[in-house]
Structure 1
Amino acid sequence: MYLKKLILVNWGNLPNSEFEFGPLNLFSGGNGSGKTTAADAIQTLMTAAHENLFQFNPGQDETTQRGRGGKKVRTLASYILGCDDGSYARLNPTDGYIVGIFHPTDNEDNAPFAAMLSVRAYVEKSGQHKLAKQDSLQFYIVTNQFENKELSLNHLILDMGNNKSILTIENCYTSLIQQFGNNNVEKYDTKRAYLRRLYGALRGKKDAVSESEALNSAKAFSRFMAYKPVQSIDRFVSEEILEKKDLGEAIRSISGQLKTIHGMERDAARLTASIDILQQSSGYAQNYIDNWSELQFQHYLIAQYEFNTRQKSYLNNKEQQQHCQDQIKQHQQSIDITRDRREQMHEQRVALEAQRLGISALQEKDELAKRIKEQEKQLSRLAQGLLIEDKQLQQSASACEKIMNALRSQSLQQAMPELVSSNALKLTRQFEKFIKQDALDIQALLGKDLMNDIQMLEKQLDAVRELQSEQHQWINFWQFGKNDTQSMMKKVSAKLSRLEMDYERIARERQTKQKEIDKLDQSQVSYPDYVVRAIDAIRNSLPHAEPRVLCDHVEVTDERWQAAIEGYMGGARFSIIVHPEYEADAIRIIRQLPGRASKARIIQGDKAQRDYERLSLDDNSILGVLEFSHATAKHYVAASYGAVLCVEDTEQLKMTRRGVTQNCLASGNYSMWRCDIDESDLVFGIEARKRATLAKQNELSRLTEQWQMANDRMQSLKQLLHLIEPLKHLNVAHVLAQMLSCHRELQKLENLIQQIDLGDHHELEDKLNEFKQKEDELRQNEDQLIKQIGQYEEKLSSLKKAINKIADEQDKTQDTVERCEQSLQKISEDWPDIDFSARLELADQQIKGLDIALAYQQRESFEQQLHTAERKLDESIKAHNQNALPGDSVAYDVFNGEYNQALFRTVCQLQRQMDSIYNRLKNNILVEKHGQLQKLKDSFNNAFVSNLCHSIHQAINDGKRQIKLLNHELKFHKFGDDRETFRFDFEWLPEYKEYSKFFEEIIRNPELGDGQTLFEAKLTKSSQQVRDRLMNMLLDDDEDKALRDLDRIADYRNYHRYEIYKEVEGKPAIPLSEYGTGSGGQLETPAYIIRAAAITSAFRFSEGKSHLRMVLVDEAFSKMDETRSREVIQYLTDSLGLQLVFIMPTSKCGPYMDLITNEFVYAKCPSSVPRGELNTRVLVDRKVCNQDKIQALWQNHRNTIYQQAELDFMQSIVNA
């Protein structure tokens, strides 16, 4: 592509006009006439006046746009305002335009286009000082600029009739669209975007080139404008011949990724440290819980042991007390017997004495009196029996009344309805009626008058016999069956047993339900029994597996779907999660468990994760209403139930492969079913547990009512049984009959006594002495027994005091036992994993063989361990909180010095809090971190290997190839009389060769592309050192220094030392770095040659068909002779096919007139009409040269000069 036309509006002091260009163009004129101003317009169009890419008036000493030493430099705004020597041709805000129209050369097929730059500038005044300021800048690319319809001056300067007006930049875009169509007008607001699109259009592309290519092309164009002495061949080749590959962004990205990786690794390490500390803290908390539980257990054990010991002592003393009482009673009976015997001896002695006196009638009388006395004693004993029978009768009457009331009670009727339908009520009412008739009058029977009235006794006996018969019948009904049927008492007892079983069952259900509520209050779920046993087995066999239950880590965010989702998942909610490396061992352990415990499930964590990563979820998946606190839980539910959809109604459900509705209907396996679940069984999330707690509390209330009702019925039956069991048959009729017989015998004896005739009898001396001796012995025995009774009574008094003392102490011990039992129960309430009932049963078993001394030692040991656990827990939590993030810290009240239930409750809460944080950090956040870290490492590995290693390695090879291409092109061009040729060469720099070998080894390492990262790759020792060095640079805190070093390493041009050799046939090659001084024409020729190579490299002549083929040279060939200059021009135009625009003063352009096709002559002259602050104007004369005629004229001129030279030579010889 070449520049066919240049349009300038308000540019410097040049006239607003169009400039047509040919293949070889010359800007000539005097000094300060405006030649460079026109060239700077082209430079501005090609560089967008981008910083560090352009330099106005490059042929002069203004080598930069920064103005050193206070020197004013030309600017884009000053050109628009027509600044000349500090004065301005345009003082008002001014819009200016530069338009370049590019056409393809013969071998190019892309369409012509226009590049346009529009600028608005104004003069800023500060006192006497004026400064040109740029207000706005816009860029345009207008495509399809064919000759019949292309952008022209008339589009920018509007004809308004009598005067003309310049198009404002606000209307420019709209005007261009109106003229050329929206599809052909492209507007750009930034310089880089414009340059990318400009050089893309020059390359024949429909879109933009890369930023680095555009900037390199613009810089190469600007540098070619003026010859500057080459200070360093190496720098020249690396900076101007070889294109810089901008890897800065890749380096920053890689550095950022590596820092992110290291930051995440530090975060992961900190998380791991926090997890380790939390695990340690959890261990201390668990130790505290266990030790507190064991300590309270030891307290209870010791208290119960002391209670049992005192109870044994109490019972032993009571036994001794009973023994003493029995001995006293026996001794008293012995005394009575001895006294009776002594009295009998006394009577016999008296009888003998009477016989000795010879009174035989008295002896008969005494015998009758004795018999009367025996009958009276018998009557007394029968009276006591009668009192006992009366007491039994009163008990029967009381029991009858109570049984009657019990039978009328509602609880008894509900407990045993058959009592109402049987004869129980009838018989009891009948017996009650007999009782109330007072058939047995004890006071009357025991009175002497009634005793002597035998007829009254016989009448009383008949009434009592009838009462006794009724009582026997009533008792037989209750205690004995009829016709081999079961007795009512046994039926009541059997019913009571069943009620007691029901009562115990309901009590266990109540206790279980209360435990479930307590667990829910502690944010814990009551797992099925088989899950509990499976978890216990795994914990015992695999302590590091950390078994967890799925339901603890899932929450439903929309309660409307709670029951449906949980009902759909069913028993899978209680699946067990363990660390992946323990999954196989865990399921083997469960397989060996007996009974239903073997039905527990183990989640395949790794398999679920791999399937989850490949999973694509529907927007209506149930996962949309689920949240997780454990990564494995999320992977499992997503992989297993992610395909289950939430649907609105059954119409949608019937067409859904797997789905649920809010009203708990589900589909799957080509069927539909109900999937509802009781609220008390909900386990997913806090809200579900609240709902489950409320439902379980309702169930507990219902169970409590059943339990109370069963208790009432059980108590009523127990009361009835207690009333029935002690009932005994009355024997009062038999006693009364014996009493009647005694009365008859007494009447008979009394009549005999009255008939005795007393006479005289002799004394029997011997027998009387014998009886006296026996009477004395019996008296001594009686005295000895009385003495022993006194001793027993004394011991009994001592035992009574001991028993009272033990009883008082036992009350205190009982209080202690109850307090210890309450402490154990509170432990179970605060930490439901500890089974209160099981602990009590264990205590009952251990108490039997308890070594109390060892128990005291164990209690002291538990106290010490408790204190140690609390201290370590406090230290561990403080250590965790110092390193943890605010959201992960553990709230812990400072220990107040009291080891009590409140502290235990706090530790339990701490344990749950730490377990929650531990789970969130380890199984959720850390897993996510590791996943992100692995992805980042893979991304970094890919970026480092692909974006950096491959890029640098490829750039090094591209650089070599580019130099080879340049050498191939240059070897066909010879310059000067010596037929000089030029070639490029390079050699490795040792430092960079290490890096190159490292990059090559990385690229050729097959493992890096097969899942292995740069951190794990097996490299040679030197490559490992290079890798570590690069890693340190990427991680360096001094980012600027690190990026400079990395940019240096990433720049492939630094890997070689470059040289350019001049070769002349028959002579050794001369390196230009050692050739001449870098000044004068000696080095200017190769400078242009190699700069031409640089610009063809920047314009990518080796790629594609279309390229920019226009160069601009200011103050051209100032130090070369005519021959070399012409050779360079011919090389640029003929060999390289470049359009050349060069600038020369008029005095030096004569030798080149036969070469140029277009000449623009600039002249500054006074103006009759002031232009702003200027009184001058610039005129431009355009010439299109006929090269053939000019060459003929020049040839004739040469021939004339040659002839004149010959004549002058011959004349000099003649004159000599």
Structure 2
Amino acid sequence: MKLLTKMKIINWHYFWNETIDFQQINFLTGLNASGKSTLIDALQVVLLGDTSGRFFNKAAMDKSNRTLRGYLRGELGDAVDGGFHYLRNGRFTSYIALEFKNTLDDTYFVLGGVFDSYEDGSHEHRFFVLEDTMPENEFILNNIPMDYKTLNKYLGEHYPNKFNFFDSNRQYQSFLKRQFGGLKDKYFSLLKKSVSFSPITDITTFITEYVCDPQDNIDIAPMQENIMQYRKLEVEAQHMRKRVERLEKIKDIHNRYVSENNNMQVNSYIVEKAGYANDLKRLEAYKKEVEQANARLALIDDDVKEAETNIQELNRKKMRLIQDKAMSDTYRLRDELLEQKETAQKDLDALNKEADLIQSNLTRYIASFSAVTQSLSDELRKVDVSIFSRANVTLLDELQDQATEVLNLSLALRDQGLKDLFSLSSESLHNWRDSLVKFKDSLAKFALTLGQSINENSQKLALLRQQLIDMKQGGKSYQWKLTSIRRALEDELSRRHNKDIKVDIYADLVDIKSEEWANAIEGFLHNQKFNLFVDPTYYLEAYEILRNLLDKENYYGTTLVDDSRIIERGYVAEHNSLATEIITNHEGARAYTNFLIGRLHKASNIQAARNSGNGITKDGDLYRNFGFGKLNPRLYAEHFIGRSIGEEQLQAKEKEIANLVSLNNKLTALSRPIDEGNRLEIINSNEIAATIVSLENIKKISGLEKNIAYLEEELEKYDTAQLDSLQKRIDDIDEDIAAMQQSQNTYFEEKGKLTNLVANLREEKIPAEEKLIHERETRINSLYDPFLIAEVAEPAFNELIEAGKSPLEIITEYNVKVTHSQYLVNNLFSTLQKERRDYVREYRLTYDIDKSDNEIYDDELSDFSEVKLPEYEGKINDAYSKAVHQFRTDFIAKLRGAIETVEDQIEDLNYALSASTFGSDSYQFSVRPSSTYLPYYEMITDDLLLEIDEDDTRFLEKYDNLMKELFAQIVSGNEEETSAAVLKNVERLTDYRSYLDFDLVVKDKEGRSQRLSKMIKKKSGGETQTPFYISVLASFAQLYHVNETGTLGDTVRLIIFDEAFSKMDSGRIRESIKLLRKFNLQAIVSAPSDKIADISEHVDETLVVLRGRNASHVRLYAEEDKLVLN
């Protein structure tokens, strides 16, 4: 083994030039601040090859402020100028050199560091090795410590090929491990920790840091990158799946649209084909009708010729009889009388007819106007004149008077004049006509007014009913133009920015807390409650659009509120102001309310309103600007304010509609007789003049009747028997001729009708039908898909015909189906347009949403579902496979290796401890899987990992969910920033200690065991620290291979404890030193001087550090030193 035998220290803090000899077990003591830790820090510089100073004086405090520069220059304290006072300034050289002896071959080597300090405060150092004993001059030449160059030259001259300087600390540390017997890196950490051995409270930390080798860092960055790539692709794929779902929905709607459109086409074709069949049927009927008419015309011509022959024969017979009658004298005298009578009778008949015409004409006029004026008078008596304006009431009164006058005159004319036409006068007829003219004028004026009222009421009624529908669906009865402008502004802003931008009416943003103040608020705000609100981001742009809409609609009853500016002003509602009655969660509406009515105070009466200086009562009494006024009730007749519609508002609207319906019904009832009166024609002046002339003519009737009576008396004086016989024969022939002529005329009439019919059929109906048939054929061929006709439509039509349905029945039935299909097609296409519009807007596309085909959307669906999505899913699987493979072969493999290593080390350590006891106690380390991470531990240690094939399937099937759970903890959800929680998870899950529970089991001579984790807080310091001390010794024994022989056991055996024995009693100290010897370790133990009695008798060398004013020295302990140290 290799033992430290000597230490040379020059210019190290208070140590100017000291040589210290060491045995196997060395006790370093002295008063506090004498320099014990200074010596131990110097030892560590050479033993660790570390000049950073991070380990200086660690036994005293975790955060020591000692530095290498302070040690070299001998720092004394702070200077006034903020610097430090030093023992040494300028240029000088310091040394720390350790001499070791190899007991196998009795050879020596020296390890050391030379430190050159310069005037500017800087310093340089070089570590070196000398394969020999400490130089005789002990690095001093001419009473001056040799600097690096001088030393290099000196060694080259005196120890050629036996020394080496190292270019870096790392190079020196690598050499140290080899020189000390091929030690592991654990040597450096274990030596530093043993020096600053402090009270232990965490067993796991102690075991993993003091006992086990440090864990190699597990770099999971590549795995994290693969997982993040997998997650990123998964998110993108999810977005793509959502997009595919949207496109599939569009395709489904389009398929239903196409299907229903095909149904409509089939139904439309069947109607068209039925019409075509009906047209053909009608054409055939027309042609058959022509054929039948021509056949009848041929028969008529024969019948006409036969009738003509018969008439000619009868005329010949008649002429012979007339000649016989004309040769009689009686006939001649009688014929003259008959001729006079016939002339008089004709004149009488004409006058009687003229009298009947006068009577019927006047009766018609009188009856019409009497009925109308009577009906009108009845209706006018029912009318509530309050529904009319004052001007219309005047017209109504005039019309009533005129109707009464016409009715009275008409009835008088009927009851007197028409019964005795000779009593009718020209004056009475003219007076009657004048009354009709006045009546018609009044009727026309009132009819115009009445028609306008009914039309206006009908329009208002339609608007009110639509408002009621809107109110029941959550809307309000705003003016149509206001609603239209708001909707148009909202649509245009949304279209421009490709997202939904809401435009609100103030009345829809607020509620009124107390209904009793509703009238006052509604009336005071008036048109301001119809003002519009929009997101302030779009305010100026929104107004540019609004100003054009206001001009277009010619409506100026609203403004666009600049709520952001109002909010900036910070208007506050005063106490008891009308604004406190407004409830809203809209910041802009709240600020606007405060601005409008935040200083208008609620008043219980007019005196309170006046006292406030700016107040209003519930009844609408308004005091402001030093004056009282009353709100117009019309301003609050209808309530608009409220985020929802109340039942009272609905009832008020329904009542308004009912009242208007009742009014319109009354006006409509009144309009009926007025319309009838307007349709009547007034007897014109020419008719009156003609009537007066006719009345003069009919006065001749009496004379004509007397003349006819005289002529009849004269005719009775002649015998007419023979003449009567001849005449009877002539009359019979006339009757036959007339019958023949009637037949002939009938034939001519029938012939004319048939000729016209044939001409009409040939020239109009048949060509028109043929044209219609041709147009139908063209339409069928151009409008309908030939495939659809051949495969579906035509077979369906034929089935209907075969089922016995006529074309007209088919048309009637399928017209209904076409209408239904048209509705469905339009509805589906509207739905399709909406889905397309939403899709195009969401993904910022420029696709046409109105095309009837779906090609561009189907192509995109195909591209995403068949190409891009499978490609992404392939990438996802690949990224996941890489992550899993890396997880298995790197992450888990390294953790498994670390766990197996620590378990092996614990096993080896337990073997070393099994042969050692501390008094009557023995110790064993315990390591088992952590219950917290047991599933992870089982996965890490699963023998599936030992399979050498590249297929991760079995491992995936077993641990897929667990892996994903772990992935979620070590990869941040946000790719751009790693959260502190994730960093903490990574640190925890890549540390093998997280998966294990460590403990130290103490067993007494009776075989009773105790776990140190259970009693660490219950026992005294010495009791709890002893097991850890033993564990450290065992760790060093294992590190140094103390139980090995030959070259494997040819290692350094040095261990340094600074203050480790401070809390132990003498018995435990004794046992500890015995254990040091048992493990065959070389030790330097530092403790305060009060422990000399407990320690000195058990060690090989006791070294006392003594300090003067500016110097420290080391000397061997002697009895007389007790006085100095106590």
TM-score (norm 2): 0.39
TM-score (norm 1): 0.36
